[in-house]
Structure 1
Amino acid sequence: MAEVEQLPKVPPRWFVRTAWVVHRALYRATGGRFGLTRPRPGKYGMLRLHTTGRRSGRPRAVIVAYYEDGANLITMAMNGWDEPHPAWWLNLRAHPEAVVDLPGGSRAVRAREAQGIERERLWAGFDAYSEGPTMEAYSRRRRRRTPVIVLEPADLLAS
């Protein structure tokens, strides 16, 4: 008998959405003193990403997990392992210039999707910041490939 692959467990969608709302509320209530962290072994960092709405043109902000790759910040465009891409990624595709808030301050960035060998290297890099199943195991929960997003410092791009 063929063995059925066990997909990693993820919390229910309602729990994930509630956690996002609580995280943003704590960030706002503490004036940004709580909610942003630097990455460390076994734990992603958390940054606040400011985008421009692709249709409305209005400012938007979201807190996402990231790790550092040199001067670049790396995140993935996932929506709690749900199928649709997150709105912040759709916004960045339309308007790649953004600002990120980090524990030490803010910086202007330009977003792009990693491709090819770079994508594979950065995708594998996520495993150093999480315990348990690999990102590849989690990715099998989705039918579409999860984009890996590179947030490059805008000041380095201008020079």
Structure 2
Amino acid sequence: MLRRLLIAFGLIEIITPEPIIRLCERIGLRNPAATQRRPLALTGARVEGLLFVWLLVRGREGSTLVTAGLGLAGLALVLVPRPIIRLSQHLVYVNTDDLELRPWVEPAARLLGVLYLTVTLLSRSTDTETTTDQTHDESDQSSSRLRLRSS
């Protein structure tokens, strides 16, 4: 269920990142109307959504670098959110000095880190399920071949 919700969130973020960014600005800034976004801000949100969907659908198969990167970002957000908040503001906004953060931005950033870590863990469980399913399929095929030989 959680996997499906996160995939849906990722798809929404890919298709229409603007409402999600505006919501985050209203939650995290005292003066959201003062923001001056960089041109690539929407692209960054879309990439984040794409990573979520890709990892949750495909699993870590062939994407250990992406999984590790998202996991490290999540860990950094959980442990030391302030520098990551500053960095992300500089990447997204032209006028970072004009923005006034609300006091709950750090806890919200930690929650985002937990979300990133959750996606990486769920992508790992996809691999486990795939491997288990393949093992069952292979053992079923082996049993069928064994029965055919014995007949």
Give the structure with the larger helix fraction.
2
Give the structure with the larger strand fraction.
1
Which is higher, the Rg of structure 1 or of structure 2? Answer: 2
TM exceeds 0.5?
no
TM-score (norm 1): 0.26
Q: Which has the higher contact order (CA 8 A, sep 6+)?
A: 2
